[in-house]
Structures are given as structure tokens and as C-alpha cells.
Amino acid sequence: MSTNSNGITFVLVPGMCHGAWCFDELAASLREAGHRVLAVTLTGVAERAHLLHGGVNLDTHVTDVVSAIDNDDAADDLVLVGHSYGGMVITGAADRISERVDALVFIDAVVPHDGESCWDVVDEEERRWYVGVDDSGFGVPPLPFFDERATAHPLASVMQRLRVSGTLDRFRRLEYVYALDWPGESPLRPSYDRVRDDPRWNCHELDGKHNLMRDNPDDLLRILLDVAQR
């Protein structure tokens, strides 16, 4: 993995039903720029779908990320990046290892408060998708337009309330990247509305669909490289 003396570590966390592969292009560009990248596939999803069971929840996914960081020998001053549901996970992980986290980037993602679940901060249409579980009774099936590699996502992870001990304003930079090209009302609009007028947040609106890694890779790379500048 190529790095330079000024390189930092980006930790990339995918949204529901997706694996670390959804960041492949972005990760390659960040590495080319001299940064370390750790992209995490969450338990029970994608190439780890065989681990899906009713006990896989948000705590499991937060632990996935913290353990991956510990096992990767990643340096401090981490930038945690979460797409969609991944916003829940990076918020929880940042709280557990706050002394090692420098910045957080929410890519069209949920921004939870203490005591909230993903269910709590999305709209009713999104909730209808969550409860349309597969035959297992605890897997949320991927939507038809998702990547063909997508798999069911653990229902418990979007139902469990997040518990954190501190607020996000303790980190150097907070970024929100909002996707404008939704077919209807964005289920992430409530989260964006929470932060868009907050002076502690830097907010960006991109003319792309929810999968901004696919639609707006150059814009995302520009934003992340800017975050890396101290």
C-alpha cells in the first residue's frame, strides 16, 4: 500500500447490502494520492453474507470497524467515511475510539443522535423497505437497482438504537455530502437538514444519485483530499 509522509488513513464503511467493493475506485484514487485506505465489509453482508443471523446488529458493525482499525495497525488521525447506513456505524466507531479520529465524512448518510436508530431518522418509505424482510425473517433484501453483488442486510442493525457518550463536534472536521438526484424525496433529507445550517459542518450538494461513489467519484475524491489537508 503506497503512502507518503503526509498520508493519512481513510476508513470507508458501505451502506446497506453493499461490501467494501463499492469503494474500489475511490480507494484506488486515494491510495494513488499517497493515503492509506481501509475499506470494511460489515458482518452478514456481501462476501460476509454467510455470517448473517438474527443477532447481527449495529453493535456488531461498529465492532467490525474498530477491530479492522486495530488489526490494520492504522495510525491515529483517522478519517471515517460512511455511506448511507454507514453513517450510523462511523458515528458509533468514532465514539469508541475518539482519541484516534480526526474527521468524519457522511456520504448521503444518516446522522444519528444518541438513542436513535437508523429507523428513527429515515422516512416512511424507507421503513417499508426495512420491514419487507426475506424468508429468513431478519434480512432486508437488496433493492432491484443495487449492484448485482449486493446481498440482504441485517434488520437488527437498522432497528438497534445507537448509544454514544459524546457529540461529533469534538472532531476537527465534519463533512456532509448530499445527493440531489433521488427519484422522490430523499430518505436522507432529515439528516441533511440537521447539519446543513450548522457552522461546524461543511456541506456539499452533488448532482448525482445515492451511489455517489459511482456517479460522482471525482467530486468525492476532491472533498476527501481536502479533508486530508490540515
Return the domain boundaries, the chain. Answer: 9-228
pLDDT score of 2: 35
CA torsion 224-18-43-126 (nearest 10°) is 100
pLDDT score of 132: 96
d(CA 48, CA 124): 29
Is the Cα torsion angle 24, 27, 33, 38 positive or negative in sign? negative
Question: According to CATH, what is the number of the domain 9-228?
Answer: 3.40.50.1820
Catalytic residues: 84
DSSP secondary structure string for all residues of the chain: ----TT--EEEEE--TT--GGGGHHHHHHHHHTT-EEEE-PPTTSGGGGGG--TT--HHHHHHHHHHHHHHTT--SSEEEEEETTHHHHHHHHHHHTGGGEEEEEEES-----TT--TGGGS-HHHHHHHHS--TTSSEEPPPTTS-TT---EEHHHHHSPP--SS-GGGSSEEEEEEE---SSS-TTHHHHHHHTT-TTEEEEEESS-S-HHHH-HHHHHHHHHHHH--
Looking up cell 486515494 gives 30
Is the Cα torsion angle 13, 16, 18, 23 positive or negative in sign? negative
Q: Which residues of 16-33 are buried (b: 16+ CB within 10 A; e: fewer)?
A: bbbbbbbbeebbebbbeb
Per-residue pLDDT in tens (0 to 9) along the chain, 230 residues = 333 445 799 999 999 999 999 999 999 999 999 999 999 999 999 999 999 999 999 999 999 999 999 998 767 899 999 999 999 999 999 999 999 999 999 999 999 999 999 999 999 999 999 999 999 999 999 999 899 999 999 999 999 999 999 999 999 999 999 999 998 899 999 999 999 999 999 999 999 999 999 999 999 999 999 999 97
* Model confidence pLDDT, tens digit, residues 10-37: 999 999 999 999 999 999 999 999 999 9
Q: Is the pTM of this model over 0.75?
A: yes
41 phi-psi bin (left φ>0, alpha ψ -120 to 50, beta other): beta
